[in-house]
Structure formats: C-alpha cells, structure tokens
Structure 1
Amino acid sequence: MSTKFMLCKFFLISLITLGKRCASTENTRHCVEPKFGHRNCDEQDNAEPTMALVPYNGNNDVLSIFNKPERFFHFAGQDLKISQEWNKFGVAAVVWDAAVVLCEYLDAGNVKLDKKRVIELGAGSGLVGIVATLLGAQTTITDQERALPYLTETVNSNLPENYEGQFTVQALDWQGDLQLFPKPYDVILGADIIYIEETFPDLLRTIEHLSNEDTLVYISCRIRYTRDSNFLKMMSEVFDLKKIHLDRDRDITIYKGKKKTNCKY
C-alpha cells in the first residue's frame, strides 16, 4: 500500500527533519551537489537526525516548496514539469527530496536501466518512474488506485509520444492481490516509502514478491524516526542491503538490496 495517502489524514502537524535545504532552484540543473562520487558509505555519520514539530503553514520555509503549483527539473536530457497539488491530494502530489536524489543518482549512470524491467512503488508524482523511462527502462509506475488520475496525468505530460508503450501506470495496493504482477522485475525503485510502520510488513511482502535473486532494489529515504530503521532491519533479513549514497545536504540515503540466495520466500 502506498504510504503517501495514508499520511494525508494527519499531516496538518508534520514531523520533519530539519537540515540544510537545497539552495538552488529547480530551474538549475538538478538542484544537486556538483558531482556524485562513489562515496564510502561506511564512513557516514551515525548520529540521529535533528527533529522538530512543524505545524503545517504554507508560508513555512521548509514546507513552502510544496505549495508551488509546479516544479521544474532537467533529467536524461529532458526538461520536466511536475505539477504539485498539495491542497487536493496532500503528500502524494508533491515532489520529495528522496525522489529528486534518486533521480540524480539514476541520471548519473549509476544503475543500468536500458531495456530493463523496472517498477516504481508508491510513485506519488511519478518523477522517479519518468526518469527511469527516459533512461531506457520498460517501466511500471505504481501507486494506490485513487492516486492514479494525478499520477497518470503527470507521467503522460512529461513523456514524449515516442515513449508510448515503454511505460504503464498501474494501481498496486501493498495489501492487495500481488498476482497481478506475476513476473519478477530487474529493478525495483522506491523514494520515501518507508515512514509508516504499519505498512512495513506489506511493503516487504510486496518487494519480495516482485523480486528474485537477480533483482536490484533501490530505496531512497530520509530516516525521520528510529522506527523507520526497523524496516531496513526487516528487509536485511531477506535482502543483502547496503548504503550506496548519502546526500548530506538533504539528509537522504540510498540503499541497494539484493535478495539473499539462501533465503526461502
């Protein structure tokens, strides 16, 4: 099940990690650090993030970016315009830092996507799935059924006609019937999908179902609470999981997972 819509009900008061925000605008090249080197993530700080209660206020510096009706990016040689509809769909219809950082990582050529079968979970705005498609993947972009009108419009408006047939937008409920997705994927992508503890068992079940021992799983996230780390612990029982990238400015970490060969599932 997508976590984004579940969070809409109680996002009037949000617990947000406070840290450096990206200083440049989306009209610049990726709004990112200059280069993505292959960092040694074993050297990352283990300190807990600084947390603060932030009542929702559209004029708040941290949250005001979500009130922008549109955000602009440049990935895979294409200019992208992502509409944001916070007031209508809440957290499912804005672009989160975790998605941007994952797109930057993909666009830097760190993951082989050309002609790969790729699925994005909890897609929200669909930015990650859009970029994966532009980079040559055969992409399935998923979220809950009620998210599909916004997601479909956003995806279709950003992918040129010559990409028709290379992607699908499809409902996927993590608690639902996964037999609609019978074949494992080459790559599974997820950005900011592990912050509601009640969904963790269903999310892990979904990832297990969609993968085999050759599937690569990329999770981009900001660990907001100690309990968020519980999902990574759960996942590490089934997958070999390691940190592969840290964006310190935005406090986003990307994890890479591959199903353990001795794990029965």
Structure 2
Amino acid sequence: MLRRAWSAGVGAVIAIGIGEGPSEMHQALDICRQFNGSGEAYKPRELPRLYASAGIYPHNTHEADDAALAKLDSLLAEPEVIACGEIGLDYYHEGSPHETQKRVFVRQMEIAAARKRPIIIHCRPKDGDNACWDDTLALLDGHWGSNGLGGILHCFSGDWEHAQRAMELGFLISFAGNLTYPKAQSLRHVAAKVPLDRLLVETDAPFLAPIPNRGQRNEPAWVAHTAAVLAELRGISAEEMASITTKNFERLFRLTPDV
C-alpha cells in the first residue's frame, strides 16, 4: 500500500492515531517506526515518510480517564507524533455525551498546547444542525486560537462561514475524497474559495474513496484523485496543487522540505 502511494506521488503520510479507543492510540506511532527505519521494510525513495498523530476520538471520550490522558501526553512527546488528533466533537453518531466530548476536547487541547503540537479537528454535525460547528468553533476560539499553533479541520464538510472562522484561528482546511462526489457541489464551492496557502488534501482512509474508486476501501495513493479535482477547481495543474499542499503541510508542522 505504501509503495502504491509512493508511485502515485505521495511523499509523506500522517497516520491518525486514534485506534478503536485510547488503548490503541499508540499504533500509528508503531507503524511509523516500522516503516521509517532502515531494513527490509524500508528502502529509501520507495516509500513515503510517515508521521503519526495521537488523540482520543469524540466517540471514545467517555474512556478518557487519567491514564488515557497521561498516555496521550507521553505520545505527543515522541518526535514522530507531530499532531494531536483526531479530537473534537461529533453530534452525528450516538457516542459519548456532548458535555463529556466538550470537556475532554478542552483537556486534550491543553495537553497539545503544552507539547506544542498542532491539533487535527473532527467536527461532524447532525444533518441540518449547526450546533456541532458552533460548539467546536467556540471552544477553539476560547481554548486554542491564541496560542499560534494552528491545526487542521479534517475532512471538511462545513460551509464558507465555518471555514473562514477556522482560518481566522490559524487552521488549514483539508478536503477528502467526498470532494469528488457529484452531489458535493456546495463543498466544491467552499474549496474554490479557500486561499491556496490554507489547503490540504487527505484520504480519511479507509473511508470516502474518491471517484473513480468510490465504494472501495480507500488508501493513500488515491489522494491524488482528490488533489486533481481540487486543482481543476482552482485552475492550476495537479503538480502545482501537489506542491502547494506539500508546502502547507511542511509549514504547519515546521518540517524541512527534504522530507
């Protein structure tokens, strides 16, 4: 899978460390260490560079006891773990109570700030209800925006006002494979307006495989399809979009271009 990603032009991947709950959020770091080092599993110029995040997903915030939060803190101290996430709020599914989600979201922001790690935000409202967006942006404004660390609105699905408010707080806007879907015109409308220096692309693998692979298990190589659609929306080449999103990634995470 990683070799297919490299062949598609993917030079770096951030593996999201949420697992099926806090007990598994170290697994993305394990994958990074398996494939970034020397040896049979890694050959220079044949695999993307891997980074990891770590975080407690909104659905699992009822599991965020002192031990889980201490584990998160220790993972964010590792050099390969460059972000805290996905964290945030989810009012679409029946998971942890909303007040629990909010409390643990704030606590994770405090831990990430102390470790100077950007955050990756999950925000999924119920259809036609802006409460999740309103609560997410209010908490970011009150507990994150002033620290200058920034972050990513993962798999963005909001409207232009939401994107604007997030960008004012230092966030990049990341688009996944659903950008390519025929009924996603409102999302493409937002993507066409986001400044180029605030754009990212992602897979949300194993979900949201882009056209022409919709319905299949998603994988990193296919982010190239999403990037191509985004480039067309912006009137630039796919190669230019690849360069822009790579530079945005490097700038947010303070990485050097040679990776």
TM over 0.5: no
Q: Larger relative CO (CA 8 A, sep 6+): 1 or 2? A: 1
The structure carrying a bigger helix percent of its residues is 2
